[in-house]
Chains A and B, each alone.
Chain A
Amino acid sequence: MIVTFRRLLTGQDSRQGLWFLPLTIGCLGFLWLLIGVDGFRNPQNLLNLITQAIPLLLVGLGQMLVILVGGLDLSVGSVVSLTTAILALDAPGYVLLPTVFLVAGLIGLINGLAITRLNVHPIIATLSMQIILRGITLILLPTAGGVIPEIVKQSVSGRLSVLWLAAAVFVGWKLIHGSRFGLHLFAIGGGVAADRQDTASKYGVADRRNVVLAYVLCSTFAAVAGVFLAGRIVSGDPNVGLLLEIDSITAVAIGGTQLTGGVGSLHGTIIGVVMMTLLANGMNLGNVSAFVQTIIKGSILLVIVALQSRKKIGL
C-alpha cells in the first residue's frame, strides 16, 4: 500500500510517468482560484474554461503521440492557423472541411517521412514546416477575417463543445491506451529512450510506419483544433495558433510524459492541459499582461523539463 502510494507520488517504475503530483497541485490550484479569485467562480467562466481547454487538449493529444515515440512537433500551431485560414476561404463547407484534413494529413506525412526516411531531426523537420506553413497561411489570409462555413460555426456552439471534449478524450484513450498502435508507440519510444533505436523493429513492430502515422495523427489533431477555433472566433486568423507548440509541449510535459519518449499517459496529458488552462484563465482574471504570461509559460516549460528525471527508462 505504502509502496504503491510512493510509486504513485514519484511516478517511479511506471510507464505512465509522474502524473499524480501534477494532479494534486492542479486540484490545489483550482481550489485556490475558486476561493481566492473573484471572477473565477462565475458559472460562465467555468464553462469558458472548457471551451478554452478543448483546442489545447486536441493539440496536446497529437503532440503526445509524437513525444511518446521520442519525437516533437513544432508545426502544430502553424497547422491550426493554416486550418482557420483555409476555412475562411470563399468556398462551401463541404469543399473546405475535407481540404483541411487532406492538407493536415499531407503535412504530417511530410514531417514523418522527413524524420524517418531522410533522418532529419524532428525539431528541424517540424520547425521548417512551422515556418513554411506560416508563410502559406499569410499568403492565403494576410489579416484576421473572412467568413467561416455555417456548419463549422454551428458545430461548436454552446453545449456541443462538451461533445467535442468527450470525443477528444475517447479518441485519445483509444489511440494511446486502447490499441496495439498505442502500445507500439510506447515500444518505439522505449527503444529510443534507451538509446537502442531499432529495438522495437526487432520485435516486428513497424516502427517507421507507426512514427509516420503518429505525425499524421498529430497534424490531424491540430487541424481539428483549428476547425474548433475557427468556429469559436467565427473567422480565420493567421496568428491564432501562435505559441500552441510551446503550450502543447508544456501541457504534455506537465502531465508526466517524458520528452525522451516511452513514458506518459492520457490522464497525465489531460491534467497538464487543465493546469495550463487554469493558469491562463487565472492570469487573465488577475490582469497579468500577455507579455508576462509568455515569460511565465516559457519558464514553466524549462523548469518542468529540467525536473523530469534524466535517468532513461530505468525511471
Chain B
Amino acid sequence: MEPLIRMSNISKAFDSNVALDDVSLELASGSVHALVGENGAGKSTLMKILAGVVQPDGGSIHRNGKAVHMRTPKEALEYGVSTVFQELSLLPNLSIAENMYLGKEPVTKLGRVDCATMESLTANAIAELGLDLDPTTLVSELSIAERQFVEIAHGITADADVVILDEPTAALNAADVETLNRHIRSLRDRGKAIVYISHRMEEIFEICDTVSVLKDGRNVDSCPLSEVTQQSLIAMMVGRDINDLFPNKSVGTGESVLTIKDFQVSPEAEPLELSVHKGEIVGLAGLEGQGQRELLRSLVGQHQPHAGSVTINSTSLPIPVPQTGGIRLLQSMGVGFVPEDRKDEGLFLELPIGFNTSIGLHSSKSELSWAQGHHKTVAETMSSMAVKAPSADSLVSSLSGGNQQKVLLGRYLASEVEILLIEEPTRGVDVGAKAEIYQLLRDFTDSGGAIIVLSRETIELIGLCDRLCVVHDNTIVSEMPAAEATEHKILDAALGTQTSAA
C-alpha cells in the first residue's frame, strides 16, 4: 500500500555541515512512528523539512503518491502536516486562543477576528487535554508545562493527517505524559500518521509502533518496534557499543576544589549542596528546565541565585556573582565556563581559530596591554586537541561541529583553568568527535582538573561522568555514582518527587 507520506533521498547541508544525507522516511496512516537518533542526528531537520520550515537541497516528498513541495509552514499545513515544535514557539504576547488559531483565525462578516468562536473552540480543545485555562490568558503568564500543552493542543487540533511531535514531553510530568498518550492513541485510531520524536525510551516503547533510526544524518534502519529492544535501539543510535565511546572512569579523586553550600537557585527551591573534587567529572542530570542550567550559570553570574555560599580552592566566591565580568572573575580563579550554544555564546564564528583560542589568554590582561600572538600556545592546543583545520587562520565557521567544539574547549584548556563548567559538551557533534572530546575531558581530570557537566543526553552523562546529581525543581534530589546509574534510575529520580510539584 502506498504510504501517506514518503520522503525520499532527502539531503540538506547547512554551510559545510551535512545535516541530512540521502534520508528516506515513510509514514503510514494510523501509526505512531518513532524517530530516534542522537542529538544532531538530523531528526529535527528532517521534520522541519516536512513542516516546510527548512527547504531540502535534494530529494522529494510524496503525499498519497503525489509529489508535493512545502515551501512554507503554511503550505505544509495546507497539505495536512501539523507540527509541535521542539523549542517552545508560542508567542508570549498573544492569548492562548490567538496562538491556537494564528494564521487561520475565523473572521466575522465584517472582517474582524471572531474572538468568540476562537475562544470557545480553544476552551474545548484545552479542556479535552485536561487543562483548566482561560483561553484569553496571555501565554506569557503560563508555566512551561502549560505552554507545552497549549503547543500540543495547537498541533493536534489542526485538521491534519500528519502530526509531528518533536520532543513533546520535555517539560511534562508522568501524569501529563499519560494524558498526552491517550490523545496520541485517539489520533492514531482516527487514521492519522504521527511522528514522535523523543529521547525517552520508555515513552517510545509505550506509544509507538514503528521506529526509524537516524545517525549522523543518514538512515540506519526502519522497522516495527516489536522487532527491537531498548538496548538494540540504543546500539543502533550510537552506532557502536557504548562502552567504546566513553573513556575510563576516574582513577581516584583528590581534595575538594569547588564546594557549594546552602545554595538556593530560586527563593522557593530547597537548599542544595555539591562539592567537586580534583580528578572527577560530576554530571547534572534531570529533565530539561528543572534548574540544572540555572545552577551552573549561577556560578558564573549568568543567573542570579537566591542564596548560598561557594568556595573555590578555599577562596570564597561572592554570591551573587556579578553578571558583567562574572565569567572573567571566575576565569581568574581558574574556572572556565563552556556555554551550551557555542555558535551564539561561545565562539566568534567569523574569526580565525587562533583568535578564538587566544581570547581566553587575553581576557585576563588589562584592556590596554599588548596583545600577544600566542602563536605557539595556539598551535600546541590545536595539535593536542586534534582540531582538523588547514591552519590557525581558518575561520571557525568553516569547521564541522565537532571541531568547533574542540576549539571552544581548547580556549579554556590553553588558559590553564583547573575547573571546567560545561553545558552540553557534545551538542551537534558527530560520534567520532564525541569520543575524542570525552577522552580530552578525561585527560583533563586525570591531570588534576575537575569538571561539572550538564547534558540532555543521559547516556552521555552515565558514560562520561564519575558521579551524577539529579536535579529536579531547582534542587538536587538524588546523587549516585555513574557506574551504578541507568537511564531508568535517573528518570525515576527526576520524576520521583514530582508528586508535589504541579
Contacts and interface: CB of A to CB of B under 8 A. Distances in A.
Interface of A: 13-15, 174, 178-180, 183-184, 186-187, 189-191, 193-194, 196, 198-206, 262-263, 312-315
B432 interface: no
Nearest to A178: B112
Contact of A201 (B72, B94, B110, B112): B72
A204 B53 contact: no
Contacts of B105: 180, 183
A132 to B, nearest CB: 31
B72 A178 contact: no
B140 A204 contact: no
B32 to A, nearest CB: 23
A183 B138 contact: no
A314 B92 CA distance: 7
A14 B95 CA distance: 10
Contacts of A194: 91-92
Interface in B21-79: 51, 53, 72-74, 77
Nearest to A261: B93
Name B's interface SS. loop
Interface stretch (B1-9, B96-104, B168-176, B491-499): B96-104
B94 A187 contact: yes
Contacts of A191: 91
Contact of B91 (A179, A190, A206): A190
Contact of A190 (B77, B87, B94): B94
B140 A313 contact: yes
A190 B91 CA distance: 6
Contacts of B53: 198, 202
A201 B73 contact: yes
A203 B112 CA distance: 19
Contacts of B92: 190, 194, 312-314
B235 interface: no
B93 A178 contact: no
13 contacts: A13-B138, A14-B138, A178-B111, A179-B113, A180-B105, A184-B103, A189-B93, A190-B94, A198-B53, A200-B102, A203-B103, A204-B72, A262-B93
B44 to A, nearest CB: 13
B107 interface: yes
A205 B89 CA distance: 13
B263 interface: no
A150 to B, nearest CB: 35
A196 to B, nearest CB: 7
A205 B140 contact: no
B79 to A, nearest CB: 12
A58 to B, nearest CB: 22
Top 5 closest A-B pairs, CB basis?
A204-B103, A204-B74, A190-B93, A190-B91, A313-B92
A15 B113 contact: no
Contacts of A189: 93
Given A183-B98, A202-B83, 11 more contacts: A13-B138, A179-B113, A186-B91, A187-B94, A199-B89, A202-B53, A202-B73, A202-B89, A204-B73, A205-B74, A205-B102
A178 B51 CA distance: 30
A313 B111 CA distance: 27
B107 A180 contact: yes
Contacts of B350: none
B104 A15 contact: no
Interface string B101-122: 0111101001111000000000
Interface string B121-146: 00000000000000000101100000
Contacts of A187: 91, 94, 98, 102
A193 B94 CA distance: 12
Contacts of A313: 92-93, 140
Contacts of A205: 74, 102-103
A204 B94 contact: no
A15 B112 contact: no
A13 B74 CA distance: 29
B156 to A, nearest CB: 15
Contact of B85 (A179, A200, A202): A202
A66 B480 CA distance: 54
Contacts of B83: 202
Given A199-B89, A203-B73, A183 B141 contact: no
A203 B102 contact: yes
Contacts of A178: 110-113
B72 A13 contact: no
B104 to A, nearest CB: 7
Contacts of B110: 178
Contacts of B87: 196
Contacts of B91: 186-187, 190-191, 194, 199-200, 262
